[in-house]
Amino acid sequence: MFNKFFQFLRGYVIIRIYGRGAERFLNICVRRGISVWNTLPRENGIEMTVPVSGFLRIRSVARKCRVRVEVLDKRGLIYTARSYRKRYVFLASVMAAIILCALSTRFIWLVEINGVENSDINSIVETLDSMGVKSGGRKSKLPDGMTMKREIITNTDNIAWAWVYIEGAKARVEIYEQIIPPNVIDKSKPCDIVAACDGVIKKLTVKNGEEVIGEGGAVSAGDVIVSGKVGVYSEEQPEEYIYVHSMAEAEAYTTHTKSGEYKLYYESRTPTGRKKKHVSLELFGKAFTLPPPTVNYDDFDESERRCELNIPFFGYTGIALDITEYDEVTVNREPLPVDTALEFAQNDLEAKISKELTPMSRLTDEKLEYEKTDDETINVTLEMNFIQNIATEQPLGGE
């Protein structure tokens, strides 16, 4: 792509060589360093492309080889400019557009923030606004990169690294968030051991604290299994308590159940070739939306894409098109066997249950049941039994 662009800037000529010495002509051009490309054999000669600078040097080669040179076409910036040299209004409009685009790159018209999942996006936007990184902000008044990085990290929690890249009239903000460690309670602070989920305790190993529910006991999520409030008995003070950081492992039989509705058919969507578009123009931070088209397709797929105007060496100019396409499709339904639908449902439900499990959980049994809701839908229920450690720490008193 860049080669074609530079060839257009320099200009080139498409020629055809006639005569018996056409092949010799081509070999001499190569030996003399004259660039030749798009060489095509023709019935009565050879067609090729040479740059403007090389075209001025082939006359002597043509005389030496006794061939005739015919110019088929001249292309490039210099020839395009000549064809418009008397169209002053057009040339003035082009120059004004180029100047406007170049001036527009002195401002920020688009702010793009990437990498934010758990952090407060509003806090980041407010910090950027205060530094001038906003639509219409002047690039010359922006702080240096290290200052912007420091402000973003200081004013927003859980940010490990940040940087603002200026790309023409676009400011691209890349954020890397901290990996938040699990909530581990300080061992110097008292805590209870509570159940992470419902179950029946199979084995309880208490390392610190006072047992509340022993082996064989049924617990619900949040029930205290081992208390950090430990009674101390003596003859002088028959009832006194100390508060400790409870530590225990509680293996329990647990049951996890998930259900969902699944279809007994598979849909394939084939484009018909008919489509409609909705175009919105973004001009220096302002959106101009055309009336949306009437989409009278029974079935269609919707897709969005963005086209930004970028000028070499300047970057994004602040002008962009947001295009929404509506492609008509033909929907074909192919029946699915019940066994295939159940296999898909089981994989889906197992993935959902896995998100509720604690580490090192062991599967002991599972049961899959289904019933037909209608001719095209089944309701599937998956029940999975595990042995898992349900002991979790909780600050004393539930705080």
Looking from the CA of 296 toward its CB, the CA atoms found within 13 Å total 1
Element at 320 (helix H, strand E): strand 315-335
In this predicted structure, what is the pLDDT of residue 255? 94
Per-residue b/e over 308-335, b at no fewer than 16 CB within 10 Å? Answer: bebbeebebbbbbebeeebbbbeeeeee
> Which residues of the chain form CATH 3.30.70.260?
2-81
CATH 3.10.20.310 in the chain is located at 107-177
259 exposure class (CB count in 10 Å sphere: 0-12, 13-18, 19+)? middle
Structure tokens at 98: 């180029």
pLDDT tens per residue across span 305-352: 888 877 766 677 778 888 889 999 998 888 889 998 999 899 999 989
Average pLDDT over residues 42-67: 82
Architecture per CATH, domain 2-81, reads as 2-Layer Sandwich (3.30)
Query: Angle 164-166-172 (CA atoms, 0-180°, nearest 5)?
Result: 55
Residue 377: predicted pLDDT:
92
The count of other CB atoms within 10 Å of the CB of residue 144 is 9
Strand partners, 122: none
Domain 107-177 class?
Answer: alpha beta
Give tens-digit pLDDT for 189-248. Answer: 889 999 999 999 999 999 988 899 999 999 999 899 999 888 776 666 656 788 888 899
